[in-house]
Amino acid sequence: MNTMNVNQLVRHILTFEKRLIDGLLCLLLVAMIVLACLQIGLRTFFSGGLLWADALLRYLVLWCGMLGAVVATREKKHIAIDVVGYLAPERIKPWTGLVIDLFSSFVGAVLTWAAVIFVRNEALFGGSPLLNVPTWGWNLIFPVAFALITIHFLLAIAADIRSLTGTGQ
């Protein structure tokens, strides 16, 4: 395969990932709203409720947040102390950007690894399942999200290098 095709393939995959995550986020958010309101309704009118709903809601919050963090990485919208950003001369910014992305990718990769160990341990000694899904399944979001975050930081490095060497897309 020549480089053109690889580039195209990467772009296709990225578009697919963006759509998938965005769609999933909308779905999860709607599910949270509906489920929470349903609980209130059931309690008010039938003085009942779904036993698993509260636990499920808490996992939905986690999933939304972690996937949201993937989007924040993609859009470069993470919260940061940007003192140097205001003070640094324009010339060195691509370099600081590269350093930051290298550092972030590395930490992201370590976090992914830690999350894999965590999920593996959960699978061995995990707690009681929710809706027939074992706890490690619910916690799978950690390795998945951190892996995606790492990939986006790595992509950012590639973009940094391209802009530094002046070979635009």
Partner 1 sequence: MTSLKLLILALALLGSPLFIVIAAVALLSFSSVDINISVVIIEMSRLADTPLLLALPLFIFAGTILSESGTPRRLLRLSHVLLGWLPGGLAVVSLLVCAIFTAFTGASGVTIFALGGLLFPALIKDGYTEKFSLGLITSSGSLGLLFPPSLPLILYGVIAEVRIDHLFLAGILPGIFMLTLLVAYSMYKSPVKKEQQERVTARQIVTGLKEAAWELPLPFIVLGGIYGGFLVAGEAAAVTALYVLVVEVFLYQDIKLRQLPRLMVKSMMLFGGILVILAASMAATNFLVDQEVPMRLFEFIRQYISSKYTFLLLLNIFLLIVGSMLDIFSALVLVVPLIVPIARGYDVNLIHLGIIFLTNLQIGYCTPPVGLNLFLASYRFERPVIQLYSATMPFLGLLMVTLVIITYFPLLSLLLVRFFGG
Q: Which is nearer to partner 1, 4 or 83 (CB)?
A: 83
150, 108 contact by CB (below 8 A): yes
Least separation, in Å, of the C-beta of 97 and partner 1?
8
Least separation, in Å, of the C-beta of 38 and partner 1?
9
Cα 80 to Cα 83: distance, rounded to the nearest angstrom: 9
Q: How many CB atoms lie within 10 A of CB 118?
A: 14
Cα 36 to Cα 47: distance, rounded to the nearest angstrom: 15
Q: Which is nearer to partner 1, 59 or 160 (CB)?
A: 59
Site string for partner 1, 38-77 (x = CB under 8 A): -xx---x---------x--xxx-xx-xxxxxxxxxx-x-x
Closest among 126, 122, 116, 169 to 146, alpha carbons compared: 116
55, 133 contact by CB (below 8 A): no
Q: Which residues bind partner 1 (CB under 8 A)?
A: 22-23, 25-26, 28-30, 32-33, 36-37, 39-40, 44, 54, 57-59, 61-62, 64-73, 75, 77-86, 96, 99-100, 103-104, 107-108, 110-111, 113-115, 117-118, 121, 138-139, 142
